[in-house]
Protein backbone atom coordinates (compact mmCIF):
# COMPACT_ATOMS: atom_id res chain seq x y z
CA UNK A 1 0.00 0.00 0.00
CA UNK A 2 1.43 3.36 -1.00
CA UNK A 3 1.62 5.84 1.85
CA UNK A 4 2.56 9.41 0.92
CA UNK A 5 3.47 10.09 4.56
CA UNK A 6 5.94 7.19 4.80
CA UNK A 7 8.90 9.43 3.99
CA UNK A 8 7.89 12.24 6.36
CA UNK A 9 10.12 11.10 9.26
CA UNK A 10 13.15 11.17 6.94
CA UNK A 11 12.74 14.51 5.15
CA UNK A 12 14.81 16.26 7.82
CA UNK A 13 17.75 14.04 6.82
CA UNK A 14 17.85 15.44 3.27
CA UNK A 15 20.23 18.31 4.13
CA UNK A 16 22.52 16.08 6.18
CA UNK A 17 22.63 13.48 3.41
CA UNK A 18 23.44 16.18 0.84
CA UNK A 19 26.36 17.40 2.97
CA UNK A 20 27.61 13.85 3.50
CA UNK A 21 27.34 13.14 -0.23
CA UNK A 22 29.41 16.23 -1.05
CA UNK A 23 32.03 15.11 1.47
CA UNK A 24 32.23 11.66 -0.12
CA UNK A 25 32.42 12.96 -3.68
CA UNK A 26 34.74 15.96 -3.27
CA UNK A 27 38.07 16.22 -1.42
CA UNK A 28 37.38 19.85 -0.51
CA UNK A 29 33.60 19.44 -0.10
CA UNK A 30 33.00 21.72 -3.12
CA UNK A 31 34.45 20.99 -6.54
CA UNK A 32 37.68 18.97 -6.36
CA UNK A 33 36.57 15.42 -7.17
CA UNK A 34 37.90 12.66 -4.98
CA UNK A 35 40.40 10.71 -7.13
CA UNK A 36 39.17 7.38 -8.46
CA UNK A 37 41.16 4.27 -7.56
CA UNK A 38 39.34 2.05 -10.03
CA UNK A 39 37.70 2.02 -13.43
CA UNK A 40 34.10 1.65 -14.61
CA UNK A 41 33.11 -0.16 -17.82
CA UNK A 42 29.65 -0.24 -19.36
CA UNK A 43 29.31 -3.75 -20.74
CA UNK A 44 25.68 -3.20 -21.84
CA UNK A 45 23.85 -5.64 -19.59
CA UNK A 46 26.11 -4.83 -16.62
CA UNK A 47 28.39 -2.14 -15.22
CA UNK A 48 31.79 -3.50 -14.19
CA UNK A 49 33.68 -1.71 -11.41
CA UNK A 50 37.32 -2.84 -11.29
CA UNK A 51 39.31 -1.81 -8.24
CA UNK A 52 43.05 -1.32 -7.89
CA UNK A 53 43.31 -4.36 -5.63
CA UNK A 54 45.15 -2.54 -2.83
CA UNK A 55 43.45 0.63 -1.56
CA UNK A 56 41.42 0.40 1.66
CA UNK A 57 38.97 2.87 0.07
CA UNK A 58 37.99 1.81 -3.44
CA UNK A 59 36.66 4.94 -5.21
CA UNK A 60 34.79 4.83 -8.53
CA UNK A 61 33.61 7.88 -10.51
CA UNK A 62 30.80 7.78 -13.03
CA UNK A 63 29.64 10.68 -15.23
CA UNK A 64 26.67 8.81 -16.68
CA UNK A 65 23.39 7.20 -15.75
CA UNK A 66 23.69 3.90 -13.93
CA UNK A 67 21.16 2.08 -16.12
CA UNK A 68 21.11 0.18 -19.39
CA UNK A 69 20.72 1.96 -22.76
CA UNK A 70 16.91 1.76 -22.51
CA UNK A 71 16.94 3.20 -18.98
CA UNK A 72 16.17 -0.15 -17.38
CA UNK A 73 17.95 -2.01 -14.63
CA UNK A 74 21.58 -2.97 -15.13
CA UNK A 75 23.60 -5.58 -13.23
CA UNK A 76 26.58 -4.40 -11.21
CA UNK A 77 29.80 -6.38 -10.84
CA UNK A 78 32.82 -5.50 -8.70
CA UNK A 79 36.23 -6.98 -9.42
CA UNK A 80 39.64 -6.73 -7.75
CA UNK A 81 38.28 -5.33 -4.46
CA UNK A 82 40.54 -6.15 -1.48
CA UNK A 83 39.07 -8.00 1.48
CA UNK A 84 37.71 -5.49 4.00
CA UNK A 85 37.92 -2.46 1.66
CA UNK A 86 35.18 0.17 1.62
CA UNK A 87 33.55 0.73 -1.78
CA UNK A 88 32.51 4.28 -2.78
CA UNK A 89 30.73 4.95 -6.09
CA UNK A 90 30.38 8.66 -6.92
CA UNK A 91 27.85 9.39 -9.66
CA UNK A 92 28.26 12.94 -10.94
CA UNK A 93 25.72 15.06 -12.79
CA UNK A 94 22.79 17.31 -12.05
CA UNK A 95 20.20 14.64 -12.81
CA UNK A 96 21.12 10.97 -13.14
CA UNK A 97 19.01 7.86 -13.54
CA UNK A 98 19.95 4.93 -11.32
CA UNK A 99 18.35 1.60 -12.11
CA UNK A 100 20.21 -1.42 -10.77
CA UNK A 101 19.61 -4.93 -9.58
CA UNK A 102 21.23 -4.32 -6.17
CA UNK A 103 18.99 -6.84 -4.47
CA UNK A 104 20.77 -9.45 -6.58
CA UNK A 105 24.37 -8.33 -5.88
CA UNK A 106 26.25 -11.60 -6.31
CA UNK A 107 29.44 -10.86 -4.35
CA UNK A 108 28.85 -11.87 -0.73
CA UNK A 109 29.80 -9.11 1.68
CA UNK A 110 30.08 -6.26 -0.85
CA UNK A 111 26.58 -4.93 -0.24
CA UNK A 112 27.56 -4.04 3.33
CA UNK A 113 30.65 -2.16 2.14
pLDDT of residue 106: 54
pLDDT of residue 108: 61
pLDDT of residue 61: 93
pLDDT in tens, the chain (113 residues): 788 888 888 888 988 888 888 888 887 767 788 899 999 999 888 899 999 999 998 999 999 988 888 888 888 889 999 998 988 898 888 888 888 876 555 556 555 55
Q: List Cβ neighbours of 81 (8 Å cut-off, separation of 6 or more).
A: 51, 53, 58, 87, 107, 110, 113
> Where do the structural domains in the chain lie, given as residue ranges?
4-104
pLDDT of residue 95: 85
Amino acid sequence: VRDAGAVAPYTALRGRLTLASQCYAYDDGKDHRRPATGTVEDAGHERVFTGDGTSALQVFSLDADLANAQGGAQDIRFENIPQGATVLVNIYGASRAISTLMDALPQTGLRER
